[in-house]
Amino acid sequence: MNLDFTREELDFRQEVEEFTRRELPPNWDNQIVFWPGGYGTIPIFETEFQEVAKEFSLKLSGKGWARLAWPEKYGGEASVMKAAIVGNVLSYNRAPAGGVASSIVAPSLILVASEELKKEFLPKIADGRAGFWLAYSEPNAGSDLAALKTTAVEDGDDYIINGQKIWSSGAHVTEYAWALVRTDPDAPAHKSATLIIIPNNASGVTIKPIVNICDIHSFNEVFFDDVRVPKKYVVGEVNQGFYNVMLALQFERLTIGSGSFRRVLDELIQYARENVRNGRPLSENNQVRRALVDMAIEIEIFENFYWQSVCMLEKGKVPEIEASALKLVFTELSVKLANTAVDILGPYGLLDKDSTRAPFGGRVGIGYLDSISGPIGAGTSEIQKSILATRGLGLPRQ
């Protein structure tokens, strides 16, 4: 047991911190309201931040930091630890980085895709030219993804795709769908789905905005009408899509902006020290002290889980149960942190991002709303608990 970072890792962290301070636009933090563990305030899914995000990810890839976890063969360093350090520092600074492409699509491609697909997409992902969105959910296929209806029918060298996806975060600001579709209407659901890449600019793709409760256009509904996609865009094997998506979901559940929780805690502590209520600094109020200590404890546990999963990946193990536990813990923590922040700020917690009086640029109020999405997205808390109980503890399925 050794919970220290190595000298080399600490130096690397320092380098990433300096880079981030230098390269982030000076006013960046005041423009965005990103809340840890939420899925509705991620700036890289918003149109207005695309320019900054693209510029920043080019600089990141210039450093080689977008592909640190990839095998050397594909230009990486095979270091999950270094990738996690980058993710940790960037998310502490709420930097516009770490999209679906680099954190979910790329590791999945590396594990299951053909060499041809890897050659085509990995370099584009590394320098931010190929952005992806996740096309899993449909109006009638949420937790029960196996109920999906979007079809792909063979036609010569192509597939013809028809159907609808929904809650498609970032579909309007990216280039490709990472889509789960049905390739065999007769087989049972788990043996009939295929993972395929669909270019957004293919004819027949229609993307319509949906505004979330934070008043942000981050997700969409997407319609596929006779969309023609070459067969070579199938990821992994045909009819093995479910298995491949489960793999990708593990990466998704680990993609969590690990540093962003501590950032909010640090800010709340500072706020409590600098603001007076009832004649005393908030930091001397016993309830505030307790609430912040409780948050510090939960963040400590979350970080332990996080680095533990990183160490597992570093050793070549795939954290399955661990990914579910981590996803459950950090999204529930997101809700508790938001509630704690609202309690501490009192009426100031209600102020919206346009209000000049809003502490933290309105992040707390919006964050409170966004924290609702954490335990819903990427597999609900209920689904995670069922995974832990059945796959982890071996309890009988219903």
Partner 1 sequence: MDFELNEDQRILQKSARDFLKKECPKDLVRNLADTDPGHSTELWQKIAALGWMGLLVPENYDGIGWSFVEQAVLLEEMGYALCPAPFISTTILGAQTLLMSGNEDQKRGILPNIVAGDLILTMALTESDGGCEPSALNLMAVREGDKWVLNGIKLFVPDALTADYILCVARTGDNSSPEKGLTIFLVKTKTKGVNIAPLKTISKDKQYEINFNNVCLKPENIIGPVAGAWPAINAIINMAGLARAAETVGVMRAVLEMTVAYAKERVQFGRPIGSFQAIQHYLADMWVDILGARSLVMKAAWKLATGRPSDKATGMAKIMVGKAGRKTTTTGHRIFGAISFTMEHDLHLYHRRSLANDPTLGNSDFHYEQIAAGLEL
Ligand X SMILES: Cc1cc2nc3c(=O)[nH]c(=O)nc-3n(C[C@H](O)[C@H](O)[C@H](O)COP(=O)(O)OP(=O)(O)OC[C@H]3O[C@@H](n4cnc5c(N)ncnc54)[C@H](O)[C@@H]3O)c2cc1C
Footprint on residues 271-300 left by ligand X (CB under 6 A): none
Say how far apart CA 236 and CA 173 lie, in whole Å.
Answer: 25
Q: Interacting stretch for ligand X, rule CB under 6 A, among 57-65, 258-266, 332-340, 380-388?
A: 380-388
SS (HEC) of 278-300: CCEEHHHCHHHHHHHHHHHHHHH
Decide: is 31 part of the binding site for ligand X (CB under 6 A): no
Binding-site member from 29, 146, 380, 388 for ligand X (CB under 6 A)? 380
Other CB atoms closer than 10 Å to residue 232's CB: what's the count? 13
How many angstroms from the chain centroid is the CA of residue 118? Answer: 22
β-strand partners of 158: 155, 230
Q: In the block, which residue shows the tokens 């661990």?
A: 322
296 binds, among partner 1, ligand X, none (CB under 5 to 8 A by kind): partner 1
76 near 70, Cβ under 8 Å?
yes
Q: Interacting stretch for ligand X, rule CB under 6 A, among 55-63, 83-91, 162-170, 335-343?
A: 162-170
Say how far apart CA 306 and CA 255 lie, in whole Å.
Answer: 10
Shorter beta-carbon distance to partner 1: residue 215 or 266: 266
396 binds, among partner 1, ligand X, none (CB under 5 to 8 A by kind): partner 1
Decide: is 376 part of the binding site for ligand X (CB under 6 A): yes
- Map residues 315-354 to x or -, x wherever contact with ligand X holds by CB under 6 A: ----------------------------------------
# chain residues binding ligand X, by CB under 6 A: 21
Say how far apart CA 257 and CA 377 lie, in whole Å.
Answer: 15
Tell me phi and psi for residue 158, to 5 degrees. Answer: -120, 170
How far, CA to CA in Å, does 324 sit from each of 194, 320, 336? 23, 7, 18
- Map residues 71-100 to x or -, x wherever contact with ligand X holds by CB under 6 A: ------------------------------
339 contact partners, CB below 8 Å, separation of at least 6: 368, 371
242 near 250, Cβ under 8 Å?
no
Q: In the bound complex, which residue of the shown chain has the CB atom lying closest to ligand X?
A: 142
Decide: is 384 part of the binding site for partner 1 (CB under 8 A): yes
Q: What is the DSSP letter of 6?
A: P
Shorter beta-carbon distance to ligand X: residue 20 or 331: 331
55: left (phi over 0), alpha (psi -120 to 50) or beta: alpha
Decide: is 311 part of the binding site for partner 1 (CB under 8 A): yes
Binding-site member from 162, 200, 308, 339 for partner 1 (CB under 8 A)? 308
Question: Which residues form the interface with partner 1 (CB under 8 A)?
Answer: 1-6, 9, 81, 269, 272-273, 283, 288-290, 292-293, 296-297, 300-301, 304-305, 307-308, 310-311, 325, 328-329, 382, 384-386, 388-390, 392-398
Question: Which residues form the interface with ligand X (CB under 6 A)?
Answer: 39-40, 133-134, 136-137, 142-143, 167-169, 219, 373, 376-380, 382-383, 386
